[in-house]
Amino acid sequence: MWNYNEYKDVIEDGDVVLIWVSRDNVKPIKISSGGVFNTRYGSFKHDEMIGKEYGSQIAVRTKSSKRFGFIHVLQATPELWTQSLPHRTQIVYTPDSSYIMQRLKCGPLSRVIEAGTGSGSFSHAFARSAGRVFSYEFHEVRYEQALKEFQEHGLVVGGNVTVTHRDVCQGGFEIRCGDKTSYEFGKGAEGGELVELRANCIFLDLPAPWDAIPHLGAVIARDERVGMCCFSPCIEQVDKTLEVLEKYGWGDVEMVEIQGRQYESRRQMVRRLDDALERLRDVKKRKQQGVERRKRLCEQLVSGEEIDGDVRPSTLKTGYNPFGKGSRVKEGDGKFEWKQVAKIESEIKSHTSYLTFAFKIVDKTRDEKQAHEVLEEFKD
Ligand code: SAM
């Protein structure tokens, strides 16, 4: 079970934890007494983890050698879950989700509508920050899978997430008590009262958001500013969305794109012109030696002379090779001069999608008396 609000110190039986094997290998597991977590570095017993503090490093002797294999047992967070979850769809990553949430001012008073649920990556981030999350998914297997995970993570019962199995472009977002497609509200008799969603934070990660936007009018809050973000990979989708946003009265429209880059701190060997010249002289000298050696060998073959035992004399290793060819120089080797540089990661996860933001206030009438009082307050 996850608990976003109360971080715990000690790992207990039944906890869902995230095992950090390496930066690109984080695995979610449920701790159960007697269980074993297998990696290529060795097998880690769950019993060795129970009772330890979160963040602990667990070590085992590797099977083949006397060396140790290590893992770290971490408490589940939406960020780590995003890194480790089983992908059923493309997902929203933390650089995008955190930016979107701050733009939509997502907080404890937010009532979020999210469609589609997909792999549930963003749902977990919303669940931690928002007051209420209504998530919709039309693909049955993905809906079932998301529901199962949300239940295991304590986001449904005793949590703040409702998942509804629905095509929102066809059926909209309204939920009626007794609706069997909506896990939480499906319990009573069918055709019950409409659930008041009063959503003030909308996130649409759908191929055709323009078909879903017209349905939002029935479920958004009427007396406050409602924010929406559409996550679309193609500019043509953005274009089509903009037309519909305008038609349905959404304003303050802005489209942005997140360009996430990771910089690494590295050391680079200082290379001078003199070094280049020395290297060129060295190459020339070795070439000359080779030519002479081959010539001598040919002459010995032709004259029937005994061939030198040492046909290929061991070339002296160049003492200094500033260009890294031949002898490998370890980064930071104290024999060389280094400078500190920032290197950008070679594979940049840059454009994921275009983020189109729009806002709407349905009820623009204001209490003139109250507005006057507020303005008076600011006069001095
Ligand atoms: N944001 C999700 C995440 O972070 O894991 C990923 C969403 S995935 C890209 C899009 C999902 O929307 C898919 O699972 C798809 O089945 C669902 N979907 C597409 N059209 C839909 C519709 N009209 N109603 C409900 N769900 C829909």
310 pLDDT above the threshold of 70: no
Q: Return the minimum-mean-pLDDT range out of 181-190, 293-302, 317-326.
A: 317-326
Q: What percent of the chain has pLDDT over 90?
A: 57
Ligand 1 near 169 CB (within 6 A): yes
Ligand 1 near 138 CB (within 6 A): yes
Ligand 1 near 361 CB (within 6 A): no
CA of 146 to the centre of ligand 1 (A): 11
**Using omega within 30 degrees of 0 as the cis cutoff, is the peptide bond preceding 107 cis?**
no
**Angular region, 111: left φ>0, alpha ψ -120 to 50, beta rest:** beta
Q: What mean pLDDT is predicted for residues 314-339?
A: 68
CA of 90 to the centre of ligand 1 (A): 9
Sign (positive/negative) of CA torsion 370, 372, 378, 380? negative
* pLDDT tier, 98 (very low <50, low <70, confident <90, very high otherwise): very high
CA of 122 to the centre of ligand 1 (A): 11
pLDDT at 163 (0 to 100): 95
pLDDT at 102 (0 to 100): 97
Ligand 1 near 197 CB (within 6 A): no
Cβ atoms within 10 A of the Cβ of 253, count?
15
Q: What mean pLDDT is predicted for residues 149-169?
A: 93
pLDDT one-digit tens code per residue, 8-62 = 899 999 998 999 998 889 999 999 999 999 988 888 999 999 999 999 999 888 7
- Which value does ipTM take for this structure? 0.99
Q: What mean pLDDT is predicted for residues 73-87?
A: 92
pLDDT at 318 (0 to 100): 46
CA of 127 to the centre of ligand 1 (A): 17
Single pTM value for the model: 0.78
Q: What percent of the chain has pLDDT over 70?
A: 90
Ligand 1 near 114 CB (within 6 A): no
Ligand 1 near 142 CB (within 6 A): yes
Ligand 1 near 136 CB (within 6 A): yes
Q: For residues 147 and 364, give the distance between their C-alpha atoms in angstroms, rounded to a whole number.
A: 38
